[in-house]
Amino acid sequence: MRRRTFLKGCSALGAALYVGGFACAQTGDPTHLRVSELRTALDSGKLNSQNLVSQFLGRVKEIDPKLHSVIELNPEASDQARLWDESKGGLLGGIPVLLKDNIATADRMVTSAGSAALSDSRYPFDSGVAEKLRKAGAVLLGKSNMSEWANFRSNNSTSGWSARGGQCRNPYVLDRSPCGSSSGSAVAVAAGLAPLAIGTETVGSIV
């Protein structure tokens, strides 16, 4: 199975060019800004995290039913954004981030590696990366879809498919492979559903 690098440049939103009627990002819409631009807007008070998170959540709900890149939204995301607006601080303070569904978080979200067998699996502790993101002030927006078990499910597994999340789709050409196994993280950033997303390297997601 050939895999391409889709996670380069995850610090910037991909251009919002989609097949199947997806709209291009509009000028003035913060969901198309780079992380550095979001940082400036948040620090200057031109934008607050609650509004930013609300716009990304709305975009996920509008667009992702066709892409299946987000496996679960964090029910605590808006509260995290509100707390940041009240306290400020942190390198990634107020910035929404998606985490691949094999990255544990100590909250109400499931960590399943895309598997139906782990659809109720919740962890009592954060993974190292989730802990560091929280300390940096990031808002954990949700979990991204992935190739189930990071493509260790079968020799003939399909990139971007998981029992829990369904088939993740390439946002530029819906019937082309999104590659993987960090399919949802890459697709979500490319589609402007999150400014940052975390993937993992197992058998070709990143390198």
Judge whether 90 lies within some domain: yes
Judge whether 4 lies within some domain: no
- Measure Cα distances from 1 to 44, 69, 117, 125, 174 in Å: 46, 20, 25, 34, 19
pLDDT at 154: 78
Judge whether 21 lies within some domain: no
Res 59 pLDDT > 80 = yes
Closest CA to 95 of 60, 133, 45, 44: 133
Per the residue annotation, which of 69, 162, 185, 205 is the catalytic one?
A: 205
Domain interval for residue 148: 30-198
Torsion of CA 120, 147, 74, 21, to 10 degrees: -130
Instruction: Output the pTM of the full model.
Output: 0.85
Active site residue 205: yes
Active site residue 100: yes
Is residue 195 a contact partner of residue 18, using CB atoms and an 8 Å limit?
A: no
Judge whether 171 lies within some domain: yes
Judge whether 111 lies within some domain: yes
Q: How far apart are CA 47 and CA 52, in angstroms?
A: 7
pLDDT at 207: 64
Instruction: Determine the average pLDDT of the residues in 193-199.
Output: 98
DSSP E strand boundaries for 157-195: 161-162, 166-167
Judge whether 169 lies within some domain: yes
Share of the chain above pLDDT 90, in %: 79
Judge whether 8 lies within some domain: no
pLDDT at 178: 95
Q: pLDDT-derived band of residue 156, with 50, 70 and 90 as boundaries? A: confident
Per the residue annotation, which of 144, 147, 181, 183 is the catalytic one?
A: 181
Q: SS3 breakdown of the chain: % helix, strand, coil, rounded to 5?
A: 30, 10, 55
Instruction: Determine the average pLDDT of the residues in 60-64.
Output: 98
Instruction: Determine the average pLDDT of the residues in 59-83.
Output: 98
CATH value at residue 84? 3.90.1300.10
Per the residue annotation, which of 49, 69, 100, 185 is the catalytic one?
A: 100
Q: Amino acid letter at 168? A: C
Domain count within the chain: 1
